[in-house]
A and B are shown apart, each in its own frame.
Chain A
Amino acid sequence: MDGKPLVSIVSAGLSKFGKNEGLYARELFAEAVKEAFDRCPRLEPKRDIKAMFVGHMGESYEHQGHTASTVADWAGLLNIPATRTEAACASSGAALRSGVYAVLSGLADIVLVGGVEKMTHRSTAEVTEYLAMASDYPFEQWHGITFPGLYALMATAHMHEYGTTERQMAEVAVKNHYHGTLNPKAQMQKEITVETALASRIVASPLKLYDCSLITDGASCVIITKPDLAKRFTDQPVNIVGTGQANDTIGLYERQSFTSLQAVKLAAKNAYKMAQTKPEDIDVAEVHDCFTIAEIMAYEDLGFAPAGEGGKLAENGETCLGARLPINTSGGLKAKGHPVGATGTAQAYEIYLQLTGQAEKRQVKNAKMGLTHNVGGSGATAIVHIYRSETQ
């Protein structure tokens, strides 16, 4: 648990997640940035922020590319380098990691990293098509394989190899919906039962509606700096002590295994090593539950459960608030929502709240070590960060 701090988070912001009618990406981003500025009165944004990295997946939604400069403009941050990072659903995990690179390089000592996606004004068919762009076009999309379809292929393989059940997947959805009711910014604010989840309509068998994350509008950001500058801005910095990122084949079909994501295993291994920590030391984690099977695979690939036993962890309630290792206390992508470009730094936002004791009704007691796990596409990108509270 002695990893050297790489950077410190001094503030964070999150827009309301959900169907934000009439609000576009730049306006959602401004809402997140406002919260981060308000939380950190000692920061003078125009003077202090030296660079921005913004995760955003799809210019199709709003017919708007050049995202970083667009949202930086509306955030009141001109005359600085503002760069978009794109890694599908891991776009803002990549923004965070880029910010770490920037601070560690010494080129920028205070960096705002964030992400945004505006999705709900489009039809489900359009969103399905845009999300599929994260997968291989000539061999997956061209042959009718959707994004839920890719995770369904993994779910079928996982069930066949390990006996994972649809009920275990439903338990993940039930837990994350429960957590969502404790988060006023979550898109879904109602609890569900295993029976409701199991009876919901099929999207791509065995995945049903309640196995899938949501179509969401939202934005998120965190402000990071050099650890020796952090106390200038806040008495409660959260240090990032480990970072890992890896890639894999763009086509799922080219992989050796369909029951685990090699990129996640590699990213986690590097992050744990850098943080000089291990899975057992983590107190709270936000994992990329774009589908319930993805959360089960995350338990295994991050070392929270042995291979094949992720389903049991969910079934036994071990990842619920109040249990041994609370996972997705924010509600996760399943209930908080999944504005794809915003998800990576929205996970960092939740861990920041947890490690500074600001998570209110969903606060994990004595949380000191946190982890985020952000996955792009069907696992061609994986980004893991490990966080440590210096004050709790």
Chain B
Amino acid sequence: MSTTEPFTIEQFYKFIVQGKLMAGQCKKCGKIHLPPRPLCDKCFSHHFTWTEIPRKGKLLTFTVIHIAPQQFQNMAPYAVGIVQLEKGAKLPGIITNVTQEQLQIGMELKIEFTECDKTQTWPQWPRYCFKPLQI
């Protein structure tokens, strides 16, 4: 993986478009940053390499959102959770293909990248979601 891309949120989402979950790893102290940051919050280095995070993880906590913001209202109720990934990375996101009864702390999930309508306004980030590995 090239190290020329900037270690930014914008670049994180560019990788998501390519179907890759990429974190920055500090060259000095080794800390993994997901999302990537241009300044290591542990040692203040600004030298990083990209490292791919495997797509499987475990659910740490969850909720089912019934009262949603305007643009998510057609999806409500929907589940969201915080997922523990490998290499110490964590990420929040929507969980699909699951019922409220099936949701369980510790269940195995896999991140999937979804297509997103391109709008003219900022931001144009794609979305991703988590799906159960097996039910």
Q: Which of B61, B66, B91 contacts A201 (CB 8 A)?
A: B66
The answer for the CA separation of A138 and B10 in the assembled complex, in Å, is: 9
Residues in B whose Cβ lies below 8 Å from that of A138: 9, 13, 35, 123, 125
B69 touches A156 (CB 8 A): no
Contact B82 A252 (CB under 8 A): yes
Contact A253 B82 (CB under 8 A): yes
Known: A132-B69, A203-B67. A145 touches B92 (CB 8 A): yes
Among A147-155, A168-176, A221-229, the one that faces the other chain is: A147-155
Q: Which of A63-71, A122-130, A381-389 contacts B (4 or more CB under 8 A)?
A: A122-130
Q: Roughly how many angstroms separate A155 CA and B111 CA in the complex, as a whole number?
A: 24
Q: A245: CB under 8 A from chain B?
A: no
Chain A: interface residue total (CB-CB under 8 A): 36
A101 within 8 A of B: no
Q: Is B63 an interface residue (CB 8 A)?
A: yes
Contact residues of B between 36 and 76, Cβ < 8 Å to A: 60-70, 72-73, 75
Chain B residues lying within 8 Å of A141, measured Cβ to Cβ, are: 69
1/0 contact string of A195-206 vs chain B (CB within 8 Å): 000000111111
Are B66 and A154 within 8 A (Cβ)?
no
Task: Give, as a whole number of angstroms, the nearest-CB distance from A318 to chain B.
Answer: 27
Instruction: Assess whether A125 is in contact with B70, with CB atoms less than 8 Å apart.
Output: yes
Interface of chain A: mostly helix, strand, loop or mixed: helix
Question: A129 CA to B70 CA in the complex, in Å?
Answer: 8
**A142, A143, A156, A254: the one within 8 Å of B63 (CB):** A156
User: Taking the complex as formed, is A162 at the interface, i.e. its CB lies under 8 A from any CB of chain B?
Assistant: no
Task: Decide if B63 touches A258 in the complex (CB within 8 Å).
Answer: no
Is A160 touching B69 in the complex (CB atoms < 8 A)?
Answer: no
The yes or no answer to A317 lying at the interface (CB within 8 A) is no
- Chain B residues numbered 19-45 whose CB sits less than 8 Å from any CB in chain A: 35
Q: Which of A339-362 contact B (CB under 8 A)?
A: none
Structural contact, B73 and A143, CB atoms closer than 8 A: no
Residue numbers in A under 8 Å from B128 (CB-CB): 143
Do residues B66 and A202 form an inter-chain contact, with CB atoms below 8 A? yes
- Scoring A residues 113 to 135 as 1 if CB is less than 8 Å from chain B, else 0, what string do you get? 00000000000111011001000
Q: Mark B74-110, 1 if CB is under 8 A from A, else 0.
A: 0101101110000000111110000010000100000
A152, A157, A207, A253 pick with most chain B CB within 10 angstroms = A253
Does B14 sit at the interface, judged by CB under 8 A? Answer: no
The docked-state distance in angstroms from the alpha carbon of A114 to that of B34 is 38
**Chain A residues near B93 (CB-CB < 8 A):** 143
Bound together, the chains give a CA A145 to CA B92 distance in angstroms of 9
Tell me, in angstroms, the Cα distance from A125 to B67 when the chains sit together.
8
List residues of chain A with CB within 8 A of the CB of B69. Answer: 125, 128-129, 132, 141, 144, 146
Say how far B114's CB is from chain A's closest CB, in angstroms.
11
Interface centre among A142, A144, A146, A251 (most CB of B within 10 A): A144
Contacts of A205 in B (CB 8 A): 63-64, 66, 100
The interface of chain B, by Cβ under 8 A from chain A, is: 9, 13, 35, 60-70, 72-73, 75, 77-78, 80-82, 90-94, 100, 105, 123, 125, 127-128
A152-B63, A204-B63 known, 19 other contacts, Cβ within 8 Å? A125-B69, A125-B70, A128-B68, A128-B69, A129-B69, A143-B80, A146-B68, A149-B80, A152-B65, A153-B63, A153-B81, A156-B63, A160-B61, A203-B66, A204-B66, A204-B67, A205-B66, A252-B82, A253-B82
Show 21 A/B contacts (Cβ-Cβ < 8 Å), sorted by A. A128-B67, A129-B69, A132-B69, A140-B92, A142-B123, A142-B127, A143-B93, A143-B127, A144-B69, A153-B61, A153-B63, A153-B82, A153-B92, A155-B63, A156-B63, A157-B105, A204-B65, A204-B67, A205-B63, A207-B63, A253-B91
Interfacial residues, chain A to chain B (CB-CB below 8 A): 124-126, 128-129, 132, 138-146, 148-149, 152-157, 160, 201-207, 251-254, 258
